[in-house]
Chain A
Amino acid sequence: TQLLEQSPQFLSIQEGENLTVYCNSSSVFSSLQWYRQEPGEGPVLLVTVVTGGEVKKLKRLTFQFGDARKDSSLHITAAQTGDTGLYLCRGLREYGNKLVFGAGTILRVKS
């Protein structure tokens, strides 16, 4: 059982569409990060959220940390083919100070 459940596992959309991917848990997290991984490369950090209810924007990407700090979402507006990749969330679980990764969401944006 994953401590951080990501959904959907796979998403294939057309360029220009909007999408949201989720990272959920039954545990409370002190903070959470989102990474993007492209084929043949290691993950690269996109954002860190630390406060419940926090919203951060990175161009067309909007990240939200749930009020209870048990979940997070990543929303992409007007997806581009360059957004294709594996999106991973990584969290620091408050209880036990454990760092965990979710299994990831594979996003494919078609032109």
Chain B
Amino acid sequence: EAQVTQNPRYLITVTGKKLTVTCSQNMNHEYMSWYRQDPGLGLRQIYYSMNVEVTDKGDVPEGYKVSRKEKRNFPLILESPSPNQTSLYFCASSLRSGLAGEGDTQYFGPGTRLTVL
């Protein structure tokens, strides 16, 4: 079954304690992306990756890091989490990065709800 998986689904942590949220896709997609979703603000892109070893900042990259060592995995790292990073996080993947056709459908993971105390 084609899917994007994220772990953990729920996480409560404290300020400053480093954490990693994993993301994996089994569709051999080149493009992967991380979003955070906050009420009234919609989905905002944190980082994206066009392919292995190619990553770039999205709209809200501060406080986050990513890596893309393998095509299927795109972990999100919070080196020193702060309360303003409390949010619902989504990983997504697609064959391409644009919006012209079927290859541009973004497949989303189930989300990770993070609370930073």
Contact = CB atoms under 8 A, between A and B. Distances in A.
A45 B106 contact: yes
Contacts of B40: 9, 103
A42 B99 contact: no
A42 B109 contact: yes
Most buried by B among A2, A42, A44: A42
Contacts of B98: 30-31, 92, 97, 99
A109 interface: no
Given A31-B100, A99-B97, A42 B42 contact: no
B3 to A, nearest CB: 10
A43 interface: yes
A91 interface: yes
Interface residues of A, number: 25
Interface string A43-77: 11100101000000000000000000000000000
A18 B93 CA distance: 33
A4 B40 CA distance: 12
B28 to A, nearest CB: 18
Nearest to B113: A40
A32 interface: yes
B76 interface: no
A21 interface: no
A5 to B, nearest CB: 10
Contact of A41 (B92, B102, B111): B111
B47 interface: no
Interface string B37-50: 00011111100000
Contact of B100 (A9, A40, A45, A50): A50
B99 A33 contact: yes
Interface string A6-45: 1001000000000000000000001111000000111111
9 contacts: A30-B98, A31-B99, A40-B110, A43-B106, A45-B105, A50-B99, A90-B99, A99-B45, A104-B42
Given A50-B101, A88-B42, 9 more contacts: A30-B100, A33-B105, A41-B108, A43-B43, A48-B101, A48-B104, A92-B98, A103-B42, A104-B42
